[in-house]
Amino acid sequence: MNHYENKLLNNMPDSIFSVMSKLALKHDAVNLGQGFPDFDGPLWLMEEAFAAMKSGKNQYAPSPGILSLRRAVCDYHKKFYDLDWNPDDNVTITAGATEAIYSTIKAFVSPGDEVIMFEPFYDAHQLDTILCGGIPKYVTLSKPDFSFDFNELEALVSDKTKLLIINSPHNPTGKVYSLEELEFIAKLAIKHDFLVMSDEVYEFITFDDARHIPIATVPCMADRTITISSAGKTFSMTGWKIGFTIASKTLTESIRKIHQWTVFAVNTPAQHAVATAFGRLDDYLPDFQAMYLKKRDLINDLLIKTDFKPHKPAGSYFLMADIPANKYQDDMDCAMKLVENNKLAIIPPSVFYGKSEEGKTILRFCFAKNDETIKKGIENLMNLV
Ligand code: GLN
């Protein structure tokens, strides 16, 4: 190691999403791996962005984000969740949820602090914790329903616990946390005085009778929760990178310091377009939700006919399926063989576990894809060599 190297970067892997997307290109494989839609969001939204550009909204936005977008975020959190936030003190617009995650962790986690997260975790939750010198502690969401053991969670809490991270609806399992689970987490957070970062980017993608409950709505939690979401998933524009944090005034002040000295401000015309879009959720959501319900059922029904048994998700646009026993060494072996031999890229989820071996027995499929892509992908899977 050279003296100028940062040892926090030792053993830091490349993102599995980039790795698998690269392999998909190399092998000309159907990509049900990286989580992004292979279709565009609505044309009217693109037109809003172009209109903003044409009317001169092309210079730096204020560092916390344009007021109309911060207000639109507050308005929809009032309307859907009955939460009272104000644009001046509580909302910060970030470069996607990814920057929101980093700015939040950096703002509150100092070297040696412990951060509790549920595995399989979203990779950035773990790696940003490590980048900030924090120590991840894992609670396992176990098959078949991806529930967790309340005692296992409670036993992890220590006087070094600074932050607990949840992601609901959950990537990669499709779990939607129940009120009982959220209340238990809240009870611990209040008793032991730690913060909760709640990554809710799939908030509008829930199925059947599953209901997304922001943990900030649990009594006494609004002041100790940092809620993160983005426009990328809701409007199928992941490349626009418009996300946000919502938190109390004091917590927001800290997050804005990190945001100011890293990203400073986010793409101005896209902020204007997204401000309009959040104002149209009532009209927009019914078709959007019906589309994902159809896709969830399509991939689930197709997978049932294969040797890869699906765990039907309650939310998000991901689905976990069991790898047939004794056919492959583990998920990585299976993923490599599928992309090379079957021209199907999926995500091997063992990289999302820090403790349990369960990830080696499952694969993550993304169904934010055209129906034809989904059908072709599963057809490739069935032509097992
Ligand atoms: N959220 C996406 C996924 O889970 C990936 C985002 C990324 O590639 N950084 O696949």
Ordered by where they begin, the domains of the chain are 7-41+283-384 (3.90.1150.10), 43-282 (3.40.640.10)
Residue 74 contacts residue 91 (beta carbons within 8 Å): yes
**Ligand 1 pocket check for 35: Cβ under 6 Å:** yes
- Ligand 1 centroid from CA 329, angstroms: 25
- Asked if residue 31 has its Cβ within 6 Å of ligand 1, the reply is no
Q: Is 58 in the pocket of ligand 1 (CB under 6 A)?
A: no
The DSSP 8-state label assigned to residue 3 in this structure reads: T
Give the ligand 1 atom nearest the CA of 34. 10
Measured by CA distance, the residue closest to atom 8 of ligand 1 is 17
DSSP 280-326: THHHHHHHHHHHHHHHHHHHHHHHHTSSSEEE--SBSSEEEEEPPTT
Give the mean model confidence (pLDDT) for residues 66-92: 98
- Determine the pLDDT at residue 285: 98
CA of 138 to the centre of ligand 1 (A): 20
**Residue closest by Cα to atom 7 of ligand 1:** 17
Q: Collapsing DSSP states into helix, strand and coil, what is residue 88?
A: helix
Tokens, residue 353 = 């576990």
Tell me the pLDDT tens digit for each residue of 283-333. 999 999 999 999 999 999 999 999 999 999 999 999 999 999 989 999 999
187 alpha carbon, distance to own chain's centre: 24
Which residue puts its alpha carbon closest to atom 5 of ligand 1?
35
The chain-wide mean pLDDT, for the chain, equals 97
Q: Is the Cβ atom of 34 under 6 angstroms away from ligand 1?
A: yes
Asked whether 15 lines ligand 1 (CB < 6 A), one says yes
CA–CA separation, 69 vs 72, rounded Å? Answer: 5
How confident is the model over 139-161, as pLDDT tens digits? 999 999 999 999 999 999 999 99
Q: Which atom of ligand 1 is nearest to the CA of 171?
A: 4
| pLDDT exceeds cutoff 90 at 182 | yes
- Whole-prediction pTM: 0.96
- pLDDT of residue 184 exceeding 70, the answer is yes
pLDDT of residue 3: 84
Which residues pair with residue 246 across a beta bridge? 91, 227
For a pocket test of ligand 1, which of 36, 240, 363 has the largest count of ligand atoms closer than 8 A to its C-beta? 36
